Amino acid sequence: MFIRDRIVELRRVRAADLIPHPLNWRVHPRRQQDALRAILAEVGFADALLARELPDGRLQLIDGHLRAETTPDLHVPVLVLDVTEAEAAKLLASLDPLAALAEADAEKLEELFQEFQTANPALTAMLADLAEEAGAAPPTARENAPEPAIPETWQVVVHCPDESAQHALYDRLTGEGYRCRVLAM
């Protein structure tokens, strides 16, 4: 079977510059917003938003509306797709429901819960709900458990004269293979 690769590129785009899809049918309750903020705070971005380029060059979101709304001033990872308006609508209608069709393996979920800890109430509540839906034991706070070791890292903070210089340096360093994070202090 031939499957087309519709990903054109990965761009870092200021989230507020992304155009929400006018037909986005997903609404995000407060508990989802809080859980997303918690995982972003504890882990960071680990998935790209999806967008298509409009004729005027702007990017229209297909997936990732809540992440964009939550972090409007950050430059977020965006996979730019070469899809038509109709294909974008098809993706918008099907991506989340496709993921929701997956079934849970309660035993694996319980094993997974043993691999990490969180003290964030929103994330803890979301994981407890997930466990209940899956018929798994909820994650438990492991008292007297050792804190996970923080790996030793070497970092450099560079003061840039403005935002465009910051992004140029970021692009250069990531292009050289360095793991970087854009910060405003």
pLDDT in tens, 20-45: 999 999 999 999 999 999 999 999 99
What are the b/e assignments for 32-55, b being 16+ CB within 10 Å? Answer: eeebbbbbeeeeeeeebbbbbbee
DSSP, res 167: H
Instruction: Collect all residues with Cβ–Cβ distance below 8 Å to 160 and sequence separation of at least 6.
Output: 166, 169
Q: Give the C-alpha separation, 45 to 15, whole Å.
A: 13
pLDDT in tens, 63-109: 999 999 999 999 999 999 999 999 999 999 999 999 999 999 999 99
Instruction: Report whether 33 contacts 126 (CB < 8 A).
Output: no
Domains annotated on the chain, with CATH: 7-102 (3.90.1530.10), 103-141 (no CATH), 152-185 (no CATH)
What pTM value is reported for the model?
0.73
